[in-house]
């Protein structure tokens, strides 16, 4: 498709795995005058953003900041700072993004072991306990994905850090598709290193990676035997820029930080509990609507992700044709499957501004028209009305 006119970009309803819909308030924030990255007013905005990230992460960690880069930069920073050559690393792989974590750790020279979990399932804590107990030598880091975007599984985290810490390892968690849509609870759950992304439940454009690390992790970082191999993502330098020292490191993406500040203000105004409840209500409405249309969901309800739902594509239905019609006829984007799910599932997001009844019913109404099925919208409205979200 040829394109030359920036004014011709259409409005899309982004109901796939991300990016999610962005409010006009957040978009307008990016149009504010650009300040220098060491301007006192911009430094005050940085302080506000860091404090609001602590609140959303559920932590009092001193280090809480948005890295300049997408969620994948957060992953890269986590392994670059806490994986040294020869370190033994255990990565729980329950989908594509677990695979990426393992790959990234190996590229840093880590000796990576993988704990495989079937796609569409969650880790059994007993599996982790057995692997840690029977390991030939201790692991330095145990890493997993909290909200696996490729499968739609929400990994229960309670109690896992106790297992990890009992065996002397740091607990590293990918919260990209969780933050802002469900509790991450860094401090309560004892998570050592956590990275996320702005383009999912935070409802901010892609380009920043919220990141936090506790003092135990920072102490290990300070005692590294080798320099952090990534100069750009070296947290020991970045914390000096985001901390009281304001040591110049790089030119921050000023307009993106305006957007994040506005997105976080909107979350503060809504309240975390209300926001989490809204994501649960939206997902319940989507699930009810899809099932009323005769479509089956991939993940068991007990571990189903509130922000991303995987649904089996009906027999005889062409994946690309349906998604193409959704985009071209209805202006709606949903995602296709990845890895072993390619061509077999659709991935439908209910994230941020998309976690509301109106966008959910728009998706269901369009699917009803394309698939010649009924009942989805009605069931979704009823589920929205009867789900407390608590």
Which tens digits make up the pLDDT trace of 320-348?
A: 999 999 999 999 999 999 999 999 999 99
Q: Which helix (H) or strand (E) holds 212?
A: strand 208-213
Do 300 and 239 lie in one domain? The reply is: no
Looking at 248, 268, 288, which one is the last position of a domain? Answer: 268
Which candidate, 374, 346, 335, 369, places its Cα nearest to that of 18?
335
pLDDT at 1: 58
Which candidate, 199, 138, 151, 149, places its Cα nearest to that of 174?
149
pLDDT at 42: 95
Q: In b/e form, how buried is each residue of 66-87, taking b as 16+ CB within 10 angstroms?
A: bbbbbbbbbbbbbbbbbbbeeb
What is the reported pTM?
0.96
pLDDT at 336: 98
Looking at 236, 268, 300, which one is the last position of a domain? Answer: 268
7 falls within a domain: no
pLDDT at 388: 79
Do 48 and 165 lie in one domain? The reply is: yes
pLDDT at 140: 98
Q: Whole-angstrom Cα distance, residue 101 to residue 167?
A: 21
Q: Whole-angstrom Cα distance, residue 48 to residue 310?
A: 36
Do 66 and 142 lie in one domain? The reply is: yes
Number of domains in the chain: 2
Do 335 and 248 lie in one domain? The reply is: no
Query: Domain residues for 278?
Result: 12-18+271-386
Distance (Å) of CA 225 to CA 86, 115, 205, 347: 11, 27, 37, 42
Do 53 and 96 lie in one domain? The reply is: yes
Looking at 252, 268, 284, which one is the last position of a domain? Answer: 268
264 falls within a domain: yes
Residue 219, domain CATH: 3.40.640.10
pLDDT at 158: 94
Residue with tokens 């030359």: 4
Do 229 and 322 lie in one domain? The reply is: no
The answer to whether residues 313 and 370 touch, using CB atoms and an 8 Å cutoff, is no
Residues whose CB falls within 8 Å of the CB of residue 38, separated by 6 or more in sequence, listed in order: 246, 248
Do 121 and 203 lie in one domain? The reply is: yes
pLDDT at 8: 84
pLDDT at 288: 98
pLDDT at 389: 64
339 falls within a domain: yes
88 falls within a domain: yes
Do 245 and 345 lie in one domain? The reply is: no
Kindly state the tokens that stand for 362.
Answer: 């728009």
pLDDT at 41: 96
376 falls within a domain: yes
Do 175 and 249 lie in one domain? The reply is: yes
Do 275 and 162 lie in one domain? The reply is: no
4 falls within a domain: no
328 falls within a domain: yes
The phi-psi region of residue 375 (left if phi > 0; otherwise alpha if psi is between -120 and 50; otherwise beta) is left
Residues whose CB falls within 8 Å of the CB of residue 373, separated by 6 or more in sequence, listed in order: 293, 294, 295, 367
Residue 278, domain CATH: 3.90.1150.10
pLDDT at 248: 87
pLDDT tens digits, residue range 144-201?
A: 999 999 999 999 999 999 999 999 999 999 999 999 999 999 999 999 999 999 999 9
3 falls within a domain: no
Residue ranges for the chain with pLDDT beneath 70: 1-2, 389-390
Do 152 and 276 lie in one domain? The reply is: no
- β-pairing, 147-148 with 13-14? unpaired
Written as one string, the DSSP assignment of 81-146 is HH--TT-EEEEEESSHHHHHHHHHHHHTT-EEEEEE--TT----HHHHHHHHHH-SS--SEEEEES
- Edge-to-edge order in the sheet of strand 170-174: 63-68, 208-213, 193-195, 170-174, 141-145, 88-93, 111-116
Do 245 and 339 lie in one domain? The reply is: no
């Amino acid at each position: 498709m040829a394109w030359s006119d920036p004014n011709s970009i259409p409005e899309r309803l982004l109901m796939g795995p991300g990016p999610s819909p962005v409010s006009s308030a957040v978009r307008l924030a990016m149009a504010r005058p650009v300040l220098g990255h060491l301007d006192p007013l911009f430094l005050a905005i940085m302080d506000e953003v860091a404090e609001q990230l602590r609140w959303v992460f559920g932590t009092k960690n001193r280090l809480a900041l948005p890295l300049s880069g997408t969620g994948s930069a957060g992953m890269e920073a986590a392994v670059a700072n806490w994986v040294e050559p020869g370190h033994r690393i255990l990565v729980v792989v329950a989908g594509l993004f677990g695979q990426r974590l393992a790959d990234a750790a190996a590229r840093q020279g880590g000796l990576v072991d993988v704990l495989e979990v079937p796609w569409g399932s969650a880790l059994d804590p007993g599996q982790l306990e057995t692997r840690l107990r029977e390991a030939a030598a201790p692991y330095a880091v145990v890493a997993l994905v909290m909200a696996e975007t490729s499968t739609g599984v929400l990994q229960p985290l309670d109690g896992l850090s106790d297992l990890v810490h009992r065996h002397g390892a740091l607990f590293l968690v990918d919260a990209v598709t969780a933050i802002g849509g469900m509790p991450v609870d860094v401090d309560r759950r004892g998570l050592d290193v956590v990275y996320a992304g702005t383009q999912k439940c935070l409802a901010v454009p892609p380009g920043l990676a919220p990141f936090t690390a506790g003092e135990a992790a920072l102490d290990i970082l300070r005692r590294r035997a080798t320099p952090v191999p990534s100069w750009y993502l070296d947290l020991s330098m970045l914390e000096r820029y985001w901390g009281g020292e304001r040591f110049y490191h790089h030119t921050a993406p000023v307009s993106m930080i305006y957007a994040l500040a506005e997105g976080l203000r909107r979350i503060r105004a809504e309240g975390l509990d209300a926001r989490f409840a809204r994501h649960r209500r939206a997902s319940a409405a989507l699930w009810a609507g899809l099932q009323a249309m005769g479509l089956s969901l991939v993940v068991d309800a007990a571990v189903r992700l509130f922000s991303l739902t995987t649904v089996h594509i009906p027999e005889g239905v062409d994946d690309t044709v349906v998604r193409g019609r959704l985009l071209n006829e209805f202006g709606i984007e949903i995602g296709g499957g990845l890895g072993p799910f390619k061509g077999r599932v659709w991935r439908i997001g209910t994230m941020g501004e998309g976690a509301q009844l109106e966008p959910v019913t728009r998706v269901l109404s369009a699917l009803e028209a394309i698939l010649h099925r009924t009942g989805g919208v009605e069931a979704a409205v009823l589920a929205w009305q009867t789900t407390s979200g608590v």
